[in-house]
Structure 1
Amino acid sequence: MAHTTIAQFLPLDKPLIIFDLETTGLTPGEDKIVEIAYEKILPSGEVVAYCQRINPGKPISPDASRINGIYDKDVASAPSFAKLSYELWSMFEGADVGGFNIIGFDLPFLKGEFALVGKNFDFTAKRILDAKILYHKMEARDMFAPRNLSAAYKLYCGKEHAAAHTGAGDVRATVEILEKQLEKYPEFRNWDYLADLHGNKKLLESAKTEHALLADVKPFGTLF
């Protein structure tokens, strides 16, 4: 079983799920999930990986398919979110969550999908580790380049993100980024500090504003 250094730097008293969603488009409430991938980090540091395609019950937009490589035919025989909801609810209910831009994108999508099956996914009650928030906190904005997952991966890990916009590839890159961030910035090794940081309205608005500006000029999927 694989291991991560995240649990060495950040105390875990429950699993930490680093996850990523691929979707039919960019709008929670209108668009749907077509793939969920995660690495479940146990308090021991052991990692359990998972990736599942999901039938969204609606067409995937051409722009989304062009970026994530998932087409309608690829999910035609996949289970619906409703069929997976009990398993996913049980898994997320007993865990903290992490990812890259999950506050602005993945968590709202997940909340919307759970709402459709009658469950209130209150992620505000969870401890959150969003690598994009940490990235925005510590690194100045480059007006000529997005602060997306690929940029963060190159900065912190010194490599190109070859598997960008695949669920499993994005999750693996995020775990590696978080390992480097926690190693580099000791202040991030405290959950209370992280809670304050993830609730920082100015910082969150900065991330949202940059996301919105890039959405006006970039094709689907280049934001994350």
Structure 2
Amino acid sequence: MARELFRFFEGTDLAGFNVLKYDIPLLVEEFLRAGIDFDIEKRNLLDAQKIFFMMEKRNLSSAYKFYCGKTLENAHSAEADTIATYEVFKSQIERYMGQELEDLQGNKIGIMENDMKKIHSLINEKMVDLAGRFVFNDKGEECFNFGKQKGKPIAQVLKEEPGYYDWMMKGDFPLDTKRKLTQVKLRGFNL
């Protein structure tokens, strides 16, 4: 089947939405597993998502225009940004009130309500450290969110590979990340 698919794609360009981060790497990987060198060097690769992200900015000025229908004057001044952020947040609550929210993976995580604690838990439900290096899993355990240990509980990794703690503490990680790592380590000593 891989050979048939390879022939089908022979001499074609590839296009889609989010294809550069998902579909094309997956396709190339599967061809390589089947022993077929699917060369993308001579193909045009088009990703509508990349154009969307380039053209539709993700910043406060754009959010203010989208949610409030206004142009942000004096962007990056503390007062203007604070007022615009408040108005964007207020508009988001009004627009999405009662609607189900999904995370980036499409999982339903809750209903939008005008309640600070509930919104906080929806937005930050899995966050352990501010850099996002650690997240909570479904069991409430702090887990690595990067590298070879991704998805593994921190306590388990520190127990199985004690040197991992030193590597991270000496590495270029934010101090908040190191603090959270130390808290998990100390908890292992029942301190």
Q: Which TM-score applies when normalising by structure 1?
A: 0.26
- Structure with greater contact order relative to length (CA < 8 Å, sep ≥ 6): 1
Q: Which TM-score applies when normalising by structure 2?
A: 0.30
